[in-house]
Structure 1
Amino acid sequence: MRAYALMIGVAAATALAGCSGDGRLMNIRAGQTSPDEFAILPTRPLSMPADLAVLPTPTPGGANLTDPNPQGDAVAALGGNPGRLADQGIGAADQALVAHASRLGTDPSIRATLAAADLRWRERNARRPLEVLFNTTVYQRAYAPMALDQRAELLRWQRAGAVTPTSPRPQTR
């Protein structure tokens, strides 16, 4: 009877562990299993305007007054003008780089094209039935053959005479 109760307890605990969340607030790409604290941004406090006759006109799809604006808040905290954050085009220092990179033309749908190719690659190279069943990521395993061996590359550059002052390993020549 005790063994039967123990088996029931283990089965219940296993079933309950499988219900630990849907992964929406998890940082699944990095293999982290704890909630991603950066996925939730606090809203600004509500405030009553001085004059209700001059309320801003609502804009469908526009920003709300209580929506967070981390970049604007950071600029204001550092003494800058958050109103100047609008897209001002390409900076003077980057114009030559952008001109060279786009000399053969650009594809406006490149992100969608690459996302579709990436999905096909991952499905072909690392999809396993248990990963589909348990909704886990296969990103790291799918691209493992293409990953750069950081230590071997560091040693290769050091042996070639490149100075790597921020390297955690001593210089070897």
Structure 2
Amino acid sequence: MIAGFGQRGLATALVLGLLAGCSSSDEPRLMNLKKTGAGPDEFAILPTKQLQAPTNFSELPAPTPGGSNRTDPTPKADAIAALGGDPSRLSGGGVNDAALIGHTTRFGTDPAIRAQLASLDLQFRKDNDGRLLERLFNVSVYFKAYRKYELDQYSELERFRAAGIRTPAVPPDAKTTKR
């Protein structure tokens, strides 16, 4: 009697486990990222400047959406400096964003492109959602799903060199990199 109950209980638990592995939301998850330790989230740490109370609160400037913050008066320059760049290059001559945007939009733009790409990518992710055991054990299938769209940096490097284009930031040798 007890052995029969144990077998039925085990079978029921197995069926419920498989059904739980089959369930999924409408949004397929190709990459399953998890924290590996108990440490802080690196993106939650923001190095902001000290807050200071103004002498007169009525003289505060009006808020500017997308503008800079009083505690971080130069966010772009600070970010560039933090990443090892030269913030003085922000305010200089040369190619700027307006020229880049003008060149890329010379043939017009589609205002619905984001919604169109989002629906196409959702369908692609649904079609490449992984196998049953991959979903059950939260195996990341992101790189396998998008492998055919991956850029081969070494063939591009050779193509650029053959065309006479300078490549000052060359990737490491293919033989030394692990995949």
Higher relative contact order (CA 8 A, sep 6+): 2
TM-score, normalising length: structure 2: 0.45
